[in-house]
Each structure stands twice: as structure tokens, then as C-alpha cells.
Amino acid sequence: MKKLMTLFALSLLAFVLVACGGGDSNETEQNGENESASESEGGEKVIRAGIGLNQNHPQYKGLLKFKEIVEEETGGEITVETYHSGQLGDDRTMTEALQLGTQEVTIPSTAPIANFVPEFSVFDIPFLLPSEEVADEVLAGDVAQDLLAKLEEKDLVGLSYWENGFRDLTNSERPVETLEDFDGLKIRTMENDLHLEAFKALGANPTPMAFTELFTAMQQGTVDGQENPYATIYLENFYEVQDYVSDTHHVYSPFVFLMSKQFYDGLTEEQQEIVRSAAEEAGEHQIKLNREANAEYLQNLQDEGMEFSEISDEERQKMVDTVQPVIEDFKDDIGPEVVDGIMEAVENAQGE
Ligand code: KDG
């Protein structure tokens, strides 16, 4: 009961914030008023879309592309309000808002989604996806697509996979070049039990934390480090509070473009097709931007003074071997058929 009251209070707060605060400069205004509900007085439908990353990240640029396509294709029947930097909450609270119908879109990493649909933790298996090409193939495959369908049981619609990218370690204590270097490091992880246990196995002292709290935690020394793709590390200015970056590439994180099922079911068939194809087209755009950017961001981080450490194949193999027992421990939680299915999809993609 207490959780439900907390959830209601949080959603009410988000609702009030949206009503009063309004979104980014790209927010759509109707009749000079900021929309604060999923339907305006004129019957137009409003999508309140929030993400945790800031307006400079390719994820937000992809969201603006989604807005452009939907508003054009529907002739204004649907307008999209865009919110970044956790303005509407963190991944968990925004996903809960979609379930409640007080928000319509969010695009979290798959890791926090596992708190709603445990099978999504399959993408948190360390070193599962070896390259972007294999990731593209696997995410387009039946097992990954079937996972999107499972979201409907939780009042969510997964419209497409976008890309967060390969996650790399940063910290403020020391260069990390070997498995031993993880020892005792206070590392923030996403709120996902597999991530937590994997970093414990590597010898670190992990703390699960919402993305919206991460910068302050690093600034205050609550945590020594974190792990995210280079694009996030650079565009969120983590170099201001982190000294060392290592190319651990330990997990490839997809994003999932989530829509409230309540809202989606209220659309016409034509509108449903428009939002679905817009999420896919905007996703292709976002992934292209993400890959172009990630290539240059590592150099930018070094230009900002971060010390870069390469992980040798030998040391990476030690990390792979070290986390294997954790993967076995989580296989039942994720679902053996999902784990085996994804592993087979990876092998098939590599074999081509
Ligand atoms: O907008 C997405 C972010 O909120 C988050 O999912 C990014 O990978 C992320 C993290 O480390 O929390």
C-alpha cells in the first residue's frame, strides 16, 4: 500500500511538474498553453516524451526526429513534447508513469527495464554482444523482438530498439588495465541485479543508482566510478569528475523506445502505424549519430585530460572467465530459453 501511495505521489509530482514546468524549448504549445495531458481541448493527442540523458546526446536528437515525423505524418493530430536530463524523472519513475498513463514515451536502457520484465536482463550478460554488427543482427531477430512483445503484459509497448552502446569504465582513483585493478572500486551500476553481481565478481564494490543521481555522486565522492558509453561520458561532462577511462566494452546496452499501452491503444490504427514507423526511422537516425559520435568522443575525453587505458585481450579474457558463474546464477531468472536463444542468435550472426 505504501509503495502504491509513493508511486501515486511521484506520478502526481511529475504531472504537476509537466503542467507547470513545461518541456524543452522544443515543447509544442497549443493556444499559448503548455499541454499537460495526453489530449488537448481540441482533441489533439499529446505525447510527453522524457529521457534521462541531456539535449546534446544522440538519444535526444533521435527523439526530436521522432517528433518531426509524427507531427508531420499526423498533420498535427498528435504533438510531441520533448523532455531531457531527467526533467520528468529517472528511468524507473518514467517507466512507471507510462504504466499509469501520466506520461507517454521514455527510452531507457534495457537494464532498468529488467525490473519490469526480467528477461531483458539477457542484454546485461557481460561480453554477450561482440560488435555493433552482431548487435544489429541479434536485435532484429526473433528472440529480441519477442521480448518487446512481453512488455505489453506490463502496460508498455516496445516500439523499437535504439542504441546506448558499448559501456566503458571510468573512475577517479586509478588506471584500470587488469582484473586486479577493479579491486575495491566503488562503482555505480544501473539498477539491475546482474550488473551488480557481475561487478562484485570482478572485485569492485558496486552501488546501484539512478542515472539522474550519478554526476553528483561522482562529484561528492560517494562513488569512485561508473560505466557508460563514451558518448554519455563526454556529453554529460563526466570528465569533470573522472580521471581515468578504460575500454572495458563489458556490455552493449540497447535502448528501448517505450510507449504507454493505455495511450497506444487509444490511437487509431493509422496513428499506431505512424508512431511505430516513426520510432523505427528515428531509431535508425539515432544509431547512425551515436556511432559517428562515439568514434570521436574517446579522443575528446583524452583532450579533456582523462587518462585512457586499453584492456589487453588476455586481461579481458580473465574478466570474461570471472563473470561466467554470475551468468549461470542468473540464467533461471532471465529464462534459460531466452539466454540460449540469444546465445544462438549471436553465434549465427558471427557465423555469417
Ligand atoms: O535516457 C537513458 C538514461 O536514463 C539511462 O538509461 C542511461 O545507460 C544509462 C545509465 O547508465 O543509467
Distance from C-alpha of 125 to C-alpha of 194, rounded to nearest angstrom: 7
Count other C-beta atoms under 10 Å from residue 35's C-beta: 24
pLDDT score of 294 = 79
User: Is residue 328 over pLDDT 90?
Assistant: yes
Residue 82 grid cell = 520533448
Residue 7: CB partners within 8 Å, gap ≥ 6? Answer: 96, 100
Residue 188: CB partners within 8 Å, gap ≥ 6? Answer: 206, 207, 208, 209, 214, 217, 218, 223, 225, 226, 227
pLDDT score of 200 = 98
Residue range 189-210, pLDDT digits in tens: 999 999 999 999 999 999 999 9
Question: Residue 108 Cα, ligand 1 centroid: separation in angstroms?
Answer: 6
Question: Residue 52 Cα, ligand 1 centroid: separation in angstroms?
Answer: 6
Distance from C-alpha of 253 to C-alpha of 112, rounded to nearest angstrom: 11
User: Is residue 29 over pLDDT 90?
Assistant: no
- What is the pLDDT of the chain when averaged over all its residues? 91
The 3-state DSSP class for residue 255 equals strand
Residue 17 grid cell = 511538474
Provide the b/e sequence for 75-103 (b: ≥16 CB within 10 Å): eebbbbbbbbbbbbbbbbbbbbbbbbbbb
Residue 126 grid cell = 557481460
Mean pLDDT of 78-92: 98
Confidence of residue 211 (pLDDT cuts 50, 70, 90): very high
Question: Residue 81 Cα, ligand 1 centroid: separation in angstroms?
Answer: 20
User: Quick one: CA dihedral 303, 304, 309, 313, positive or negative?
Assistant: negative
pLDDT score of 28 = 40
Atom of ligand 1 nearest to the CA of 164: 8
Domains of the chain: 45-351 (3.40.190.170)
Beta bridge partners of 308: 245
In the chain, % helix, strand, coil (3-state, to 5) comes to 55, 20, 30
Beta bridge partners of 309: 246
User: Is residue 91 over pLDDT 70?
Assistant: yes
Confidence of residue 39 (pLDDT cuts 50, 70, 90): confident
Higher pLDDT, 41 or 170: 170
Are the C-beta atoms of 169 and 188 separated by less than 8 Å?
Answer: no
Beta strand pairing status for 207-208 and 188-189? Answer: parallel
Question: Residue 195 Cα, ligand 1 centroid: separation in angstroms?
Answer: 13
Q: Whose CA is nearest to atom 3 of ligand 1?
A: 52
Residue 319: CB partners within 8 Å, gap ≥ 6? Answer: 126, 127, 179, 202, 248, 250, 311
| DSSP output for 151-220 | GGGGTEEEEEEEEEEEEEEEESS----SGGGGTT--BEE-S-HHHHHHHHHTT---EE--GGGHHHHHHT
Beta strands in the chain (DSSP E): 29-30, 33-34, 45-50, 78-83, 105-106, 156-171, 188-189, 207-208, 225-228, 244-260, 307-309
Atom of ligand 1 nearest to the CA of 253: 8
Q: Whose CA is nearest to atom 1 of ligand 1?
A: 52
Residue range 226-278, pLDDT digits in tens: 999 999 999 999 999 999 999 999 999 999 999 999 999 999 999 999 999 99
Distance from C-alpha of 137 to C-alpha of 148, rounded to nearest angstrom: 15
Distance from C-alpha of 230 to C-alpha of 249, rounded to nearest angstrom: 10
Question: Residue 349 Cα, ligand 1 centroid: separation in angstroms?
Answer: 27
**Which residues are near ligand 1 (CB < 6 Å)?**
51-53, 59, 91, 107-109, 164, 190, 211, 228, 253
332: enclosing H helix or E strand: helix 313-334
How far from the centroid of its chain's Cα atoms is residue 125's Cα?
Answer: 15
Amino acid, single-letter form, for residue 136: D
Mean pLDDT of 79-100: 98
H/E/C letters for each residue in 127-170? CCCCCHHHHHHHHCCHHHHHHHHHHHHHCEEEEEEEEEEEEEEE
User: Is residue 15 over pLDDT 90?
Assistant: no
Residue range 127-136, pLDDT digits in tens: 999 999 999 9
User: Is residue 30 over pLDDT 90?
Assistant: no
